[in-house]
């Protein structure tokens, strides 16, 4: 499955629809939100299954910095005629500063019955033990944080 | 917070829970199970809000849905709002129908289809039922059995 990657690093609202309208279609979609600059970021994703036997893997990763807020709304919508669907939506958000704010809304709307649809969301901060480990290897705290963010965003 | 919702014909169950974390070091857990059948629609609508003051708060939300037939539908609308950064918040949801393989397996072991269905539904509800006081759990198990008996999968 080929992954479609998208990057968002400017404040504002971004709306994305990922259609699954051909039978047997499979798509992997990765959205990376870099909200380290101040501002309000909004990402709205709709994975819309109108054809049967379609599969999706939707992943959103975001980092939120000082004075920034990030809202991610992800919806998996499965229409009645779209049976045999397998979709997974994942939202992972890392808060880098005490003033960072995040809202994650992973939603499902399912009218078919022969489906496997699941989602997961987590919001948290950088694990201090990871920073300690990197610091023990000679990185400064700042470098360690940067490396962890890089690894998290996969860039 | 534990909840079970069953939506049958003509019903739209819109249930869920709201958790507001206002103080530091608070924890919460929401477990919501819903079943939709006979054209019913079960929705989970939830909110976890963690205020700027609630440092080191932890929250976990699990909402699973079971769809019994092609006429029914299921939705989840959770909102997770985090307003400070020292928080661990997890959310999981899963929607599926009763697996035909699961049914066949149980039937191959001598169960009728209705019995097999009841067993699967009970297994699905187990995490909630397991935390109820004994008397209530017994009642609920009976209720599930009664509910299921009248239905043809």
Q: What is the pLDDT of residue B148?
A: 67
- Which strand (E) or helix (H) includes residue B144? helix B134-149
Q: What is the mean pLDDT of chain B?
A: 86
What are the distances in angstroms from CA A132 to CA A93, A125, A128, A148?
A: 21, 14, 6, 12
In a domain, A80, yes or no: yes
In a domain, A105, yes or no: yes
Q: What is the pLDDT of residue B153?
A: 41
Neighbours of A29 (CB within 10 A): 18
In a domain, A142, yes or no: no
Whether A117 and B91 lie within 8 Å, measured CB to CB: no
Q: Which tens digit of pLDDT belongs to each residue from A111-129?
A: 888 888 888 898 988 888 9
Mean per-residue pLDDT for A30-56?
94
Angle, helices A141-153 vs A128-136, to 10°: value is: 120
Q: Which tens digit of pLDDT belongs to each residue from B16-41?
A: 889 999 999 999 999 999 988 888 89
In a domain, A149, yes or no: no
Quick one: what percent of chain A has pLDDT higher than 70? 99
In a domain, A53, yes or no: yes
**Global ipTM:** 0.72
Domain that holds residue A112: 3-126
Q: Which tens digit of pLDDT belongs to each residue from A49-83?
A: 999 999 999 999 999 999 999 999 999 999 989 99
Q: Which of A78, A96, A99, A121 to mutate to test the interface with B (most CBs of B within 10 A)?
A: A121
Mean per-residue pLDDT for B8-20?
89
The answer to whether the beta carbons of residues B34 and B66 sit under 8 Å apart is: yes
Q: What is the pLDDT of residue B152?
A: 46
Q: What is the pLDDT of residue B151?
A: 52
Q: What is the pLDDT of residue B121?
A: 87
The answer to whether the beta carbons of residues B36 and B68 sit under 8 Å apart is: yes
Closest chain B residue by Cα to residue A127: B86
User: Given pLDDT bands bounded at 50, 70 and 90, which one contains residue A94?
Assistant: very high
In a domain, A138, yes or no: no
Mean per-residue pLDDT for B2-16?
87
Total of domains in chain A: 1
In a domain, A22, yes or no: yes
B69/A95 Cα distance (integer angstroms)? 41
Q: How many beta-carbon pairs below 8 A join chains A and B?
A: 104
The answer to whether the beta carbons of residues A115 and A145 sit under 8 Å apart is: no
Neighbours of A147 (CB within 10 A): 14
User: For residue B78, which residues of chain A lie inside 8 Å, CB to CB?
Assistant: 105-107, 121
User: Given pLDDT bands bounded at 50, 70 and 90, which one contains residue A155?
Assistant: low
In a domain, A150, yes or no: no
Eight-class DSSP state of B120: H
């Amino acid at each position: 499955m080929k992954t479609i990657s998208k990057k968002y690093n400017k404040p504002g609202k971004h709306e994305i629809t990922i259609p699954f309208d051909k039978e047997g279609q499979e798509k992997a979609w990765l959205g990376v939100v870099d909200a380290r600059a101040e501002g309000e970021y909004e990402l709205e994703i709709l994975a819309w299954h109108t054809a049967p036997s379609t599969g999706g893997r939707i992943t959103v990763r975001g980092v939120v910095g000082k004075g920034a807020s990030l809202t991610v709304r992800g919806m998996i919508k499965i229409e009645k005629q779209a049976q045999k669907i397998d979709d997974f939506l994942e939202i992972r958000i890392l808060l880098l500063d005490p003033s960072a704010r995040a809202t994650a809304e992973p939603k499902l709307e399912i009218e078919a019955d022969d489906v496997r649809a699941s989602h997961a969301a987590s919001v948290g901060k950088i694990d201090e033990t990871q920073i300690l480990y990197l610091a023990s290897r000679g990185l400064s705290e700042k470098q360690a944080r940067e490396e962890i963010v890089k690894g998290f965003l996969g860039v | 917070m534990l909840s079970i919702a069953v939506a049958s014909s003509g019903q739209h169950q819109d249930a869920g829970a709201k958790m507001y974390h206002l103080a530091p070091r608070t924890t919460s857990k929401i477990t919501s199970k819903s079943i939709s059948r006979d054209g019913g629609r079960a929705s989970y609508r939830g909110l976890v809000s963690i205020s700027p003051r609630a440092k080191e708060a932890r929250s976990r939300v699990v909402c699973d849905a079971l769809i019994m037939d092609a006429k029914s539908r299921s939705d989840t609308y959770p909102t997770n709002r985090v307003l400070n950064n020292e928080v661990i918040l997890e959310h999981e949801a899963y929607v599926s129908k009763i697996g035909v393989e699961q049914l066949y397996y149980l039937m191959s072991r001598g169960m009728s289809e209705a019995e097999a269905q009841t067993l699967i539904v009970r297994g699905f509800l187990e995490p909630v039922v397991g935390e109820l006081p004994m008397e209530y759990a017994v009642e609920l198990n009976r209720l599930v059995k009664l509910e299921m008996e009248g239905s043809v999968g």
